Amino acid sequence: RSTLFPYTTLFRSPRTVRALRCGPHAENPSLCRHQCHSRILPHRLLDGDQIIAMCALEMLSTGQLANNSVVVTVMSNKGLDTALANAGIQVFRTPVGDRHVVEEMRKRNIVLGGEQSGHLLFLDSSTTGDGIIAALKVLEMMCRRNRPLSVLAEVMQKLPQITRNVKVQRKVPVERLPEFSARLAEIERSLGNAGRILFRYSGTESLARITIEGPDQVQIRGYAQELEQVLLQEIAHSDT
The confidence score (pLDDT) of residue 43 equals 59
The confidence score (pLDDT) of residue 28 equals 52
The confidence score (pLDDT) of residue 82 equals 92
Cα dihedral 54, 34, 29, 159 sign: negative
What distance lies between CA 198 and its chain's CA centroid?
Answer: 14
Report the predicted TM-score, pTM, of the whole model to 2 decimal places. Answer: 0.76
The confidence score (pLDDT) of residue 240 equals 56
Within the chain, which residues score under 50 in pLDDT? 1-19, 21-27, 30, 32-41
The confidence score (pLDDT) of residue 125 equals 86
3-state secondary structure 27-72: CCEEEEECCCCCCCCCCEEECHHHHHHHHHHHHHHCCCCHHHEEEE
Task: Report the C-alpha gap between 171 and 183 in whole angstroms.
Answer: 18
The confidence score (pLDDT) of residue 80 equals 95
